[in-house]
C-alpha cells in the first residue's frame, strides 16, 4: 500500500468588511476569544445558531449534548461563584500526559507572552490573566456543556460535532466564542448555580459575545500541526 500526499492547510486572508459567506471563511474566522465587550448578545442569533447546531450527527441520533446558558443577573452570579472558587482552590482538571504537555506550554507562551505581553517570569501578571478564564473573559453570555454520565466516548464525539457546529454558526453571525475546559474544573459550583442535574457530566464552559477589538490576544494566529502528523491516507 502507498500513501497519498496530503495537501497543506490553506491560508485564507479575510477582509473584515466582507460578510462570511463560505464555509472556508467561517472556519478560518473562528478562534478562541479571550476578551469580550459587554455588548448583549441578541437572543434571535443564539436561537438560530442553536437550531443549526441541532442538525449535528450523533450515535443513533441520541443527540447527547446538553447546554445551560446564562446572561444578565444569572450570568453575573455564576461568574462571581466560579471566580471565587478559583481564588481559593485549583480547578480539578486531569493533567495532560507528559508527552502532550508541551502543547499547553507552547500555547501559553503564545497567548500570555505574545498576545498579552506578560513576561514568563511575571507570576503576578500571569496569575491575573489566568483568573480571567474564570470570569469567562467578560463574555455577556456564558454556558456550560454537559453529557449524560452513562454515555461513552463515542457519544462525546457527537457532543464535539454539535459544539463545533454551534461555534461556526455563531461565527457566521458575527459573534465570538471560547470553549473553556478550565471552567469545568469546578463542576459542583456550576452544578449548583445552573441547577445541573446529577446525571449530567460537566464537560466544558462556553463564552459567547462580541470580541474586544483592542485586545491583541484576540487576533493571534495559532499554528496547527502539518496534516501529515494527523492523517494517514492509504492507496491500493
Q: What is the pLDDT of residues 139-155, one digit of tens each?
A: 999 999 999 999 999 99
| pLDDT, tens only, 2-35 | 444 444 444 444 444 455 669 999 999 999 999 9
Please tell me which residue, 218 or 120, carries the higher pLDDT value. Answer: 218
Q: Are 221 and 9 in contact (CB under 8 A)?
A: no
The reported pLDDT for the residue numbered 19 is 55
Residue 1 above 50 pLDDT? no
| Torsion, Cα of 106, 135, 74, 167 (10° steps) | -30
Please tell me which residue, 113 or 190, carries the higher pLDDT value. Answer: 190
Cα dihedral across residues 106, 108, 110, 113: positive or negative:
negative
Q: Domains plus CATH for the chain?
A: 40-221 (3.40.109.10)
All three cell numbers of 101: 504537555
| pLDDT, tens only, 79-97 | 999 999 999 999 999 899 9
| Torsion, Cα of 136, 137, 139, 142 (10° steps) | -10
Amino acid at each position: 500500500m502507498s500513501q497519498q500526499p496530503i495537501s497543506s492547510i490553506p491560508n485564507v486572508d479575510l477582509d473584515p468588511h466582507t460578510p462570511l459567506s463560505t464555509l472556508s471563511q467561517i472556519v478560518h474566522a473562528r478562534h478562541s476569544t479571550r476578551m469580550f465587550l459587554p455588548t448583549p448578545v441578541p437572543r434571535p442569533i443564539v436561537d438560530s445558531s442553536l437550531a443549526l447546531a441541532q442538525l449535528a450527527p450523533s450515535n443513533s441520533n441520541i443527540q447527547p449534548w446538553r447546554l445551560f446558558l446564562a446572561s444578565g443577573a444569572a450570568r453575573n452570579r455564576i461568574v462571581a461563584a466560579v471566580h471565587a472558587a478559583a481564588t481559593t482552590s485549583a480547578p480539578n482538571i486531569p493533567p495532560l500526559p507528559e508527552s502532550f504537555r508541551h502543547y499547553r506550554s507552547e500555547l501559553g507562551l503564545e497567548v500570555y507572552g505574545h498576545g498579552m505581553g506578560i513576561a514568563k517570569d511575571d507570576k503576578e501578571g500571569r496569575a491575573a490573566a489566568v483568573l480571567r478564564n474564570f470570569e469567562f473573559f467578560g463574555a455577556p453570555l456564558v454556558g456550560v456543556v454537559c453529557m449524560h454520565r452513562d454515555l461513552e466516548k463515542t457519544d462525546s464525539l457527537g457532543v464535539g460535532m454539535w459544539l463545533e457546529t454551534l461555534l461556526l454558526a455563531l461565527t457566521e453571525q458575527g459573534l465570538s466564542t471560547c470553549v473553556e475546559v478550565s471552567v469545568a474544573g469546578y463542576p459542583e459550583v456550576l452544578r449548583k448555580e445552573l441547577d445541573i442535574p446529577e446525571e449530567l457530566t460537566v464537560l466544558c464552559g462556553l463564552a459567547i459575545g462580541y470580541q474586544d477589538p483592542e485586545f491583541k490576544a484576540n487576533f493571534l494566529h495559532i499554528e496547527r500541526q502539518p496534516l501529515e502528523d494527523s492523517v494517514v491516507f492509504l492507496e491500493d
